[in-house]
Each structure stands twice: as structure tokens, then as C-alpha cells.
Amino acid sequence: MKKQIKLVLLLIVFILITGTLSACQAKPPKEWWKDVVFYEIFVRSFKDSNGDGIGDFNGIIEMLDYLNDGDPNTSDDLGIGGIWLMPINPSPSYHGYDVTDYKAVNPDYGSLEDFERLLKECHKRGIRVVIDFVINHTSSKHPWFVSAADSESPYRNWYVWSEKRPNNTSGPWGSNAWYQKGKEWYYAPFWSEMPDLNYHNPEVSEAIYDATKFWLDLGVDGFRVDAARYLYEEGFILQDSPKTIKWYQDWYSYYLKLNERAYSVGEVWTDTSMIKRYNQPTKGMEQYFMFDLAADLVGSVYSPSAWRVSKAFQKAMDAFPGGDFSSFLTNHDQNRLASVLEEDPVKQKLAAFLLLTGPGTPYIYYGEEIGMTGKKPDEDIRKPMQWSSQNHAGFSSKSPWRALNDGWSKNNVEVQSGDENSLLNWYRQLINLRNKEPLLRKGAYLPISSDCRSLYAVLREENGTQLLTLANLKNEPIENCTLTLKESPLSGEYSVEMLLGEPLFEKMVFGAQGELDEVKITRTINAAETFVILLKK
């Protein structure tokens, strides 16, 4: 009898353990990226766990509860559902965009086991992990290129060589792109130490496919593809070539066979109309960053223009229906948002509101949520995260790899967490609201016109539910504003429930065609006031 009881107890323990493991390792839902807010992390600058002044994987693990504690009922975390890690591969440079091994991690950041532990801890909290995939070029110190310097090397044709200095040495941006090594010249438009891979050689694609499989097998949830426009040079076409676009469409099909829930997002830094070509005739990546949209969001706050915001979102929605694109304000290649907006916290809050209540999958650059400043050179827009007022801003126990921003002791996560009106708590509020309200993530986007130029008003609607987002983009009050909408799926009278902001009106009435005919808002809308309003029939 005792043996039977022991067996039953062991069986119960086994079921509990395996159930817990399966819960931690559960597959994410399909198209999970449409329901999350991403957070971009430069590992070197996020959190140092071992006191060498350099951020690492274990440092990120220490701070995961700041991003998402795994409990959807709490609101003191950011509510982040995905992180994008800037390059984690071995590299001779601080930034990592010149890779020396596609199937290893930078020892500055820890071991491969440390990275796997980071993946597990993220997945426990429902955070998906996307890594930078730098596949257009390698480091000049990559073993492939070191070998390729020998004309008899099997890797010779993995790079682009010319026996003579080309008559036109210009790259895609008009700067020099050819450099001499020995008696020949190699193509490297980004930098002499970043030689371009030769995708006309099928062996290169095979190697990148192999790296793709390596990371997906390890548990990575997807890739952010760096410099995606430049894989193939076809004569005078140095970017966005037909073969480049076709390569991604083939790669997309390949990796989906490995993992149908894997995600890719492309850095195709050009106008939206060109980016759209990457999904024609078939999809090349799940999403692309909308650089035009980012410029318009920030510009609309800098110089208030509601029309510019709604037009920019509509343009992105027209190119990628259903909001299947990635939105952001600034990233690691641009002056930080706080510096662009002259360190004005009101404007930063408005920019965050536009981003996090709009369609698309939003990305936040680390430190943006506390108003970290930074202007180029690049090192100064990638400085260590400001965690607290302790020594070295709580980033490290010793001097960090790059000097901290001025004012870090007064502007950090610890200080802002204690201020209910801080930028950080505003981000927390907006992201958690977005996580709770599907309409903010996936609803149709119907701009509402107003005679007040700075009043941004949008109707979001899906499957019979609807809400309004409004914002006065001016830093001064506006009065007697009207709302006009020619048609919508709504009709009749709706009561209102304020999800964000103070009451604006008691009800809204739409005509038979869903129209609003110069409906006047009777109360003054305060400077930079924002609203999210649920409409109920």
C-alpha cells in the first residue's frame, strides 16, 4: 500500500513539474507581434551584472520585472511583450554590427548558456525575444573574410572583389565603397571594416539559412534584419534590387517551415512606397519599420499638426492593411527623442500617446520612457541606462564603458517611479491600457476632422466595438472645436466611458451613414490634454 501511495505522489509531482515547464515554454499565439509593445535594448548599455562596466545578459535578467513581471494584473511594470536585442554576436566593435561569428554570442555579454537562460526567463513572463540579424556584411576580422584575402581561398567568392579599382567607387549614398586589400579591391559601402557578402554566391545564402536555423532552434522568436536593402548589387542598382526582394521572400518561406510563429522585421530605411515592394508579389518579412511615419509623429508634436499624424498613419495602413507594420519614434541610429523635442516632457508625453494609441506594432528605444537625452556621435545615443541615483546610475558597480548623461542622478527610473506624473509612469499607463484594449492594437483607423488644427481625433472600430482617441497637440488650450466625419460603421446615440482623461462630453450621436456633422465640443480642451473614450450603444 505504501509503495502505491509513493507512486501516486511521484506521479502528481511529475505532472506538476511538467505542467509548469509546459506553461513556461508554451508556444505564443500566431501573429503574437500584433499584440505586443517591443522594447529595443543595447545590451552593452542596459545593466551590468558582473562589475566590468559593460551590460550583459544576466543584467537584463535582473531587470526583467521592470519590463514585464509576468502578472497582467499589475501596473507598476512597463507591460512590454517583446524585446529586440541589438547585435549579440561576437564583434571587434562596441556596437556589434560587424559580426565575426553568426552562431555565437559576444563574450562581453556572457555565455551562450547565459543567453539561453535569458530566453527562458523572458518566456516565463510572456516576453518574446528578437535578435539583430546583420546579414548584409561581416566584420573584416570574420574568418571568412580573413581567408578570402587569399585568391585561392574557398571563401574568395563569398565577398565582392574587383581586380582593378572600379571607375565608379561610389556606394548607395555616393561615398566611397571600394577598398584595396593586396592587389585587389573589395566592396564595403558601410565601412572599410564591414565587407559586403556576395549573395550571388549560393553558399552565402546557405550559411545565413544555417544561422537562421541555429537561433530558431535555440528558442529565439525572430529577427530584426539590419541594412536589409543592400544584399544584391545588380549593375547600377545598389539597393532595393529585385534579387534582394526575392531573397527575403524565399527566406521568409524557409524560416516559417522551421517555426510557423517566428517573426521578422526589416530595417528598410526608405519611403513607405518602396518598402511596400518587399511584400510583392509575396511577403518578404512579417513587418517593416515605418521611417516616414516616425518622422511625421515626432514632427507633428514638434510643430503641432493633427492632420500630419492621421495622414501618416493612413499612408502606412494603406501600404500594410490591418496595421501590419512596426512603428517607433526614434532608434539607435537617430538623435534621442528627448533631445529632438528639446527635453520638453509635455511633448515627449504627446509623442508617446500618438505612438501607443495608434495602429502598428510599437517599438520603444531603451531609456526613451524616462526621457534619456543623446545626440550623435552614435556612442552618445547608446549610453548606459539610468536606473537610480546610486553610484554609476545603478547600471554598474564601476565606471561604465561610456560616461553617463549629465543629470542622471535626478533623471532615472527610481526617481520617476516615485512621481505619479512622470514620463515613466505615463508610458506604463499607456502600454498597460494598450494591452487591455484590443481596439488600440487592431481596430480600424478612421480619422475625424476638426477646425482646430492641433486637435488629433480618431475613431477606432472593430466588430461592433469602438473608441475615440483625442489629443490637443498644442501646449495651450483650445476652444469651440468641432468634430466632422463623413461616414463610419456607427449610427445612433452612444454613451461614453473615459478610459483615459477627464470627461469631454456625455454622449455622441452619429447619423444614419455614421457621420458626424460639425459636432461642437463645448468645453475647453486644456494644453496637451489627451483622451481615450470607449463608446457604448
- The reply to whether 196 belongs to the active site is no
- The reply to whether 379 belongs to the active site is no
- Over 273-330, what HEC string results? HHHHHHHCCCCCCCEEECHHHHHHHHHHHHCCCHHHHHHHHHHHHHHCHHHCCEEECC
* Pairing mode, strands 444-448 and 361-365: unpaired
Please state, in angstroms and rounded to a whole number, the distance separating the CA atoms of residues 356 and 129.
Answer: 20
| Amino acid occupying residue 435 | N
**DSSP result, 331-378:** -TTS--HHHHTTT-HHHHHHHHHHHHHSSSEEEEETTGGGT----SSG
Residues 474, 477, 479, 481, CA torsion sign:
positive
Nearby residues of 521 by Cβ (< 8 Å), 6 or more positions away:
480, 481, 482, 483, 504, 505
Q: Which residues pair with 478 in a beta bridge?
A: 525
Indicate the burial class of 112 (C-beta count within 10 angstroms; 0-12, 13-18, 19 or more). middle
Choice among 226, 286, 324, 368 that is catalytic = 226
- Output DSSP code: residue 96: -
Choice among 48, 56, 98, 267 that is catalytic = 267
Indicate the burial class of 343 (C-beta count within 10 angstroms; 0-12, 13-18, 19 or more). middle
Q: Which residues pair with 485 in a beta bridge?
A: 516
The answer to whether 310 and 454 are in contact (CB under 8 A) is: no
Active site residues: 226, 267
